Chains A and B, each alone.
Chain A
Amino acid sequence: MVSLAGGYTDWKRSGLPTELPRTLDGEKRQRYSRHVLIPEVGEEGQLKLLDSRVLLLGAGGLGSPAALYLAAAGVGRLGIVDDDRVDASNLQRQVLHSTGRLGDWKAESAKRTLEELNPDVEVVPYIERLTSENVERILADGWDVIVDGADNFPTRYLINDAAVWHDIPLVHGSIYRFEGQATVFKPGAGPCYRCLFPQPPPPELAPSCAEGGVLGVLPGIVGSLQASEALKLCLGIGEPLVGRLLLFDALATEFSEVNLRRDPNCPVCGDSPTITEYVDYVEFCSGRPAHA
């Protein structure tokens, strides 16, 4: 039995546990002052961001703006999964990298850029392609939100399944030429990627940006939307794009939205899932008959 008589002073003197409310130090208060001024964020929200951990798939077109804004916002830990090196053809849009970094690992280049932007942020580079073999190890490092800026279907289906099983919100973005899409797959609250697209298109029907091209600024817009959604999820504020797919057309300068619904028959997030462990995602996306 613990007595509260004597108030805080007696409580502390008798060696009982105490906790001082955390506050931002002077330097951080200045750096994040424009966040602290917003009632929906404030000091408490900024402390939350500093404690947040966001995993980014890809340090490319979408990952570049997303990572820059998340780092600037003071998200305390950013994981970056990318097995590629900086190529001259990337620099038209991948603003994390620069001419002097040609040939460097993108994940390392991203770490240098982001830590220079904000030393409060710890950047964890994973110089590897996400696979069924490494996904559990990478997720075991602990992430609150995942930002998907991958460039291929196998990775998108793999991270979808992993996010559902680990109950981690997944901020999806994709781009092609002048058009982009963004949504949030939040397990339990809305559909997953497989509800939206039960199967990938046959490879011959799905040109990539490398084949079809992309306007350099387009990933800047879509990746920034992904960063905005990720920040909202970390802070627990606003209405994230759950159950809504945002479509952006840069040529028409037009945003539109369609509704997404969870499919009760979804093999991964449905009522009676039939896929409960990682599959061969390359085979699943190859157009050959897939097996669960």
Chain B
Amino acid sequence: MSRVRIPPQLRGEVGGAREVPADGGTVRELLDDLMSRFPALRPQLVEDNEIAPFVNVYVEGEDVRTLDGLDTSVEHGSTVILLPAMAGGL
């Protein structure tokens, strides 16, 4: 089980939680578990069966795109951060 940090833009899709647990030995399994419980997250995270280009997924502080993408392994107890682009400055 890992802890997934939900960014404020996506909290509406998970009932307002800042962090939710998710299960999976890889990023793909973990996101599948998450999206099966919170289907509204899917269009926000995945595009053409890949991580959407406007969102980053970090496992223990590393961008999984610089590792093995969806096949990146996730150790039990890892912290996973979902990070969509955010434009606000004013």
B90-A258 in contact (CB<8A)? no
B8-A208 in contact (CB<8A)? no
> Of the candidates A58, A151, A197, A207, which one forms a contact with B53 in the assembled complex, judged by CB atoms under 8 Å apart?
A197
Chain B positions near chain A (C-beta within 8 angstroms): 7-9, 18, 43-44, 52-56, 58, 61-63, 65-66, 81, 83-90
List the A residue with the shortest CB-CB distance to B10. Answer: A205
B83 to chain A, nearest CB (A): 7
B53-A176 in contact (CB<8A)? no
A197-B61 in contact (CB<8A)? no
- B residues within 8 A CB of A208? 87-88
A179-B85 in contact (CB<8A)? no
- With A196-B56, A197-B56 given, is the CB distance from A58 to B9 under 8 Å? no
A175-B56 in contact (CB<8A)? no
A219-B8 in contact (CB<8A)? no
Cβ of A33 within 8 Å of any chain B Cβ, yes or no, is: no
Q: How many A-B residue pairs have CB under 8 A?
A: 113
Cβ of A94 within 8 Å of any chain B Cβ, yes or no, is: yes
- With A178-B8, A258-B83, A259-B63 given, is the CB distance from A201 to B89 under 8 Å? no
- A residues within 8 A CB of B55? 201
- With A258-B81, A261-B66 given, is the CB distance from A174 to B88 under 8 Å? yes
B78 to chain A, nearest CB (A): 13
A175-B54 in contact (CB<8A)? no
B89-A60 in contact (CB<8A)? yes
B35 to chain A, nearest CB (A): 15
B85-A200 in contact (CB<8A)? yes
A226 to chain B, nearest CB (A): 10
In Å, the complex CA distance between A156 and B7 comes to 20
